Structure 1
Amino acid sequence: MATFMATFLSCVLCAHLLCHGSLAQLPMGQGQQPYPARRLWEQSECRVERLQAVEPSRRVQCEAGVMEYWDQNDEQFQCAGVAPFRTTIQPGGLLLPYFSNSPRLIYVVQGSGISGLVIPGCPETYQSFQQFHQLEERGPEQRFRDQHQRIHHFRQGDIVAEPAGMAAWFYNHGDTPVVTITVADTSSHANQLDPRLRMFQLAGQQRREPYGRQAGASGEEETSGNIFSGFDVEMLAEAFGVSRETAMKLQSRDDRRGNIVRVEMGLQVLRPEQTRSYEPVEEEKEHRRRGANGLEEAFCTARYRENIGDARRADVYNPRAGRMTTLNSQKLLILRSIQMSVERGVLHRNAHFVPHWNINAHSILYVLRGRCRLQISGPLQASARFDREVRQGQMVVIPQNFAVTALAVSTENFEWVSFKTNDNAMVSPLAGKASIFRGLPDAVIQNSYRISREEARRIKYNRGEELLLLQPTAQGVRASA
């Protein structure tokens, strides 16, 4: 009997482990453990006492654009477990298909175009049919001219999510350059390789420059081949059923165009025509009207793009202070697998981003335009750990639980986008509505700071119902001046 029970319990345990392991591989975060959501590389060595506003450390020129990379060896990016880079695609430029070892969030700073995300196992739902008489002449094998997975339009203000290991491409069909900011989460459990962003090219050759050195400064160009370059040509030809010459072209050994190439006469691909201007609010209404029926939430049909630049989508709005929009996995389901979220904000001149801290995430702030005075304070010293003016094009890492505040100081609005390392990032404000002080009794505040009861009440209520974005006061304007 004891032997039977032991065998039975062993079987139950094995079944449980097998089911758990299978569920952990499901897309969209189904079956994943809620914590820890990220792998922390060498967390004991993480030093956050030297925060800086930094710009890209290396620039790689391509035929039809530029790739600019922030230094992955920078301590603040290593601590946050992220690797950021900026991409500029000139009109008519194609960012060649690639994938990486880490999930990525992409913010479209400017421009518009089309893109594709190739998901293994999903059907090619874009199909171009030949006419019937052509079928008779050429045979049934010519039934389709082309078929491929979905193509998506993107525009300024869009967030595009790309899971780890899935190939993507971008094309600029407009008249102005497309500029995007990408933050890859190298600490995600989806990354089983190592704590560095590794880009795998499906075509072309990637130009490489050592960190801290501008492209061409060394006098020698370093390149790395695409994923086909490591295969034997004969085996590659056999695998695809093509000639040896075609297989050699797949390896792109003599291609010096870089990751972004120019498409002559435009990219001719099968895609729906745009019969009206893109309207994100109406598109969202239509998506909700169809409803989620199980199939709608499947990985193949999941939305992986959402616009957060439209003022009508603001979650927080103060006409005298600005607006802020948050995109998390409750709004865009695919962010569960990306394990990141995004915050997009606009702060009017002399307005204040309330002092707060991020409860469950690091925040990687990128300045889109304007300037602000940014202060970050941590536990090791009383004074602000970071107190500088940050400007367009700079990036700052705000560690989890560090208090941060910002004051717009330029004549134009201060605009930013923050990538959060949690798909449902939460903040805790220190002032205004929903602040920590609103939840404390007057007497606790009074005795904590050795102030009068009246002063304690002013701390709690003087900002009234303002939430996160605070309009300027006369005192604040004088301080800014």
Structure 2
Amino acid sequence: MLERGSIGASKLVLQKNGLALPRYSDSSKVAYVLQGSGTAGIVLPEAEKEKVIAIKKGDAIALPFGVVTWWFNNEDTELVVLFLGTTLKAHKAGEFTDFFLTGANGIFTAFSTEFAKALVASQTGSGIVKLKEGTTMPEPKKADRDGIALNCEEAPLDVDIIKGGRVVVLNTQNLPLVGEVGFGADLVRLDSSAMCSPGFSCDSAYQVTYIIRGSGRVQVVGVDGKRVMETTVEAGCLFIVPRFFVVSKIADKDGLEWFSIVTTPNPIFSHLAGRTSVWKALSPEVLQASFNVTPEVEKQFTSKRTADAIFFPPPN
């Protein structure tokens, strides 16, 4: 499904003093910090100076095409970063390919000039290296985060339903670089035993979801009303919802938290339950005829869940 949807996913894990060497990618991505804290260096195309930012759990960083990045962990806790993105222009559909500027597999290693050989000969590591304790690295600047990074755990909530769930949506308003990346993202926290309304992306987008914490059940329904997936998910699981397919999630008792991307910068969803449901917009006569039910049954159906928007708290 990753290949069919031209979507990529990967993780970066750094131990203390681990440095992910400077590289650029053949894909635009959003990075999400799953664990730990550290420092990231970002060089935007045609920029004269890198941006150095402090990163921590909950940070989302937009990485358009052509961006050069490096990542460093100077803490005892592992730094774990998730990358989700599109591979429409990648060398291999469904895979990210990184081009390293330095290291044993760096692009300069193939050049034959004496300058290039002298420059790269001393770095024998590939991809990730461990620096000596006390090695000086650039200091992060708070201003460098503007427009590039947003902490989803501290950002204003777009949806907040008591005993239901909360959502922070990344879009061009709160993270301008999302427009250059070409897709949106969100962080969703579903409370204990709550349900996320069945819904679909109505702008021909794929949904790619990574489970961060907790567990729950997921159902996906596709063409001709056929259920194409029913499974239990837990932390570390990743799944994809194809275009226009309907998905719903129910959290277990410990709740369910996920980070996802939608392959359009400002996604629009239609929901099939709750206050904003499509059913609420359809006339009673159409519903009665479509379901072949009496007005009384139709009224009972449309009166359910009128107060909730996207998340449904468990029954009392």
TM-score, normalised via structure 1 length: 0.62
Deviations 1:85-131 (A, max 9, x none): 1111112211111111111111111111111111243233xxxxxxx
Unpaired segments of 5 or more residues in structure 2?
none
Residues 302 and 334, structure 1, Cα contact 8 Å, conserved in 2: no
Deviation at 1:358, TM superposition (A): 1.1
- Measure, in 1, the Cα distance between the counterparts of 2:59 and 2:258: 14
| 2:281 counterpart of 1:439 | yes
Please show how residues 174-213 of structure 1 align to structure 2 within 5 Å: 174-187=75-88, 191=89, 195=93, 196-205=95-104
Which is richer in helix? Answer: 1
User: Which blocks of at least 5 consecutive residues in structure 1 are unaligned?
Assistant: 1-75, 125-148, 206-224, 238-243, 275-286, 288-299, 475-481
- The equivalent of 1:263 in structure 2 is 131
The answer as to whether partners of 1:432 and 1:461 remain within 8 angstroms in 2 is no
Return the alpha-carbon distance in structure 2 between the equivalents of residues 182 and 314 of structure 1.
23
Cα distance in 2 between the residues matched to 1:330 and 1:443:
40
Find the aligned partners of 1:192 and 1:396 in 2 and give their Cα distance: 20
Determine the structure 1 residue equivalent to 2:3.
78
Residues in 1 aligned to 2:277 and 2:295: alpha-carbon distance in whole angstroms: 18
Let me know the Cα RMSD of the aligned residues: 2.1
Within the candidate set 393, 406, 427, 2:249 is matched to: 406
Whole-angstrom distance in 2 between the partners of 1:306 and 1:266: 29
Kindly indicate whether the alpha-carbon contact (under 8 Å) linking 1:173 and 1:266 is maintained by their aligned counterparts in 2. no
Contact between 1:233 and 1:247, CA under 8 Å: does it hold in 2?
Answer: no
- Shift of the 345–273 alpha-carbon distance from structure 1 to 2, 3 Å rule, reads closer
Deviations 1:245-275 (A, max 9, x none): x23427x4xx2x432211112441342588x
TM-aligned CA distance change 1:364 to 1:266, over 3 Å:
farther
Following TM superposition, the consecutive aligned residue runs of length 4 or more in structure 1 with deviations greater than 6 angstroms are: none
| Higher share in strand | 2
Given residue 198 of structure 1, which amino acid in structure 2 is its aligned partner? T
- Equivalent of residue 334 in structure 1, options 177, 180, 184: 177
Counterpart in the other structure of 1:317:
160
How far does residue 324 in structure 1 lie from its aligned partner after superposition?
1.2
Is 1:393–2:236 an aligned residue pair? Answer: yes
Instruction: Give the 3 Å change call, closer, same or farther, for CA 192–258 of structure 1 in structure 2.
Output: closer
Note the alpha carbon deviations across 1:278-318, whole angstroms, 9 max, x for none.
Answer: xxxxxxxxx9xxxxxxxxxxxx99621111123x6221111
- Equivalent residue in structure 2 for 1:358, among 157, 178, 201: 201
Contact persistence 1:115–1:152 (CA under 8 A): yes
Identity of matched residues, %: 26
Corresponding residue of 2:264: 422
Q: 2:67 — aligned with what?
A: 166
The correspondence for 2:20, drawn from 92, 95, 98, is 95
Aligned to 1:472: 314
Give yes or no for the alignment of 1:451 onto 2:280.
Answer: no
Is 2:152 the partner of 1:249? no
The one-letter code of the counterpart of 1:200 is F
Q: Is the 8 A contact 1:183 1:419 kept in 2?
A: yes
With the length of structure 2 as denominator, give the TM-score of the two structures.
0.93
Q: Secondary structure at the match of 1:407?
A: strand
SS of corresponding position for 1:372 = strand
Measure, in 2, the Cα distance between the counterparts of 1:405 and 1:270. Answer: 44
Alignment size in residue pairs: 314
Give yes or no for contact 1:302–1:333 (8 Å, CA) kept in 2: no
CA positional deviation for 1:78: 1.5
